[in-house]
Amino acid sequence: MKGIGDCLSHKKIQAAAAYLKNLVHHTPIRTSTTLDQSVGMNVYLKMENEQKTGAFKARGACFKIGCMNDEAAKRGVIAASAGNHAQGVALAAAKRGIQAKIFMPIHTPKPKVEATKSYGAAVELAGENFQEALFAAQKEQQQTGSTFIHPFDDVDVIAGQGTIAIEMLTDQPQLDTLIVPIGGGGLISGIAFAAKQMKPSIRIIGVQTEAACATYHTFHKHLLPSLTCKTIAEGIAVKEPGKVTMPLIQQYVDDVVTVSEHDIAASILQLLERHKTLAEGAGAAAFAALMRHHQSIHSKHCGIIISGGNFDLQKLSELHAHTMHLPANSMA
């Protein structure tokens, strides 16, 4: 019996790319000679923080809702999210003219809540973390018959996220490594699958924060410790790997590494101060992995996914607190 992951194909990701062409941005790739010199390789930053809604999630949500038939669309959609998937679903639902209700953890940053509402979606705050918000959303879905749009464990969502790899390897075919943040794994599953179809030799490295690193431990066959999931990278604060995404990660991803809260805070500040771009915690995770692990990343042309930029600017002072005890050259 085939698993749901077997339904993913390069043809589906190509179909997603064609469908999304006029719905989302083909985001730019940015380079920096100073950055290249500091890490000893050519680095290419994929600016998904400049995507519609400020994050890559619009891709998967738009393709998933676009795949729904008219009868299902009439019943609306429900989703659970720490923020960016919420905005993606809200945008996609608005474009199709259907109702959306989003369940978000109670500690979700206010800008993400307000942005989700601005697209016309109803928002309900429920639970201390993503898993509790997810449970509340699934319970309501069973009562209403609306279509549940999973943030990562869905083949159509994964295919939508995989369009990033098509763009990157079309724009920069010399890329030999991609570093991708991991929460539930939808982004890296789609990117890894698509990239390996286009260029089998490419190396895919996933990154998680030490506070929420269930996929890291599962990938390396460790016993899963108790995780707090309290992190400035709340967009990837997921307590357990996805059921669909984890097998894809095990098959197509070459390595998974972790970064600290200090690493992420320093990277947000470095991206803002040196590269003049705003990344949220999850969005800066891949950059943080580059800065922390570059000596062990054997790459000449390395792509970094800046996955989102929906950061609460009122928390900038907290970032400085995170980095107070870092060595001076960590921000270079």
What residues are annotated to the active site? Answer: 57, 307
Other beta carbons less than 10 A from residue 79's beta carbon: 30
Beta-strand relationship, 77-80 and 29-30? unpaired
- Integer Cα distance of 332 and 327 in angstroms: 10
Tokens 């357990």 correspond to 240
Inter-residue contact 123 to 79 (CB < 8 Å): no
Angle (nearest 5°) at CA 227 between 221 and 229: 120
**For the chain, where are the E strands, in sequence order?**
29-30, 42-47, 77-80, 100-104, 122-125, 147-148, 177-181, 203-209, 255-259, 301-306
Give bridge partners of residue 302 from the DSSP assignment. 43, 177
Q: CA angle, corner 305, sides to 304 and 310, nearest 5? A: 135
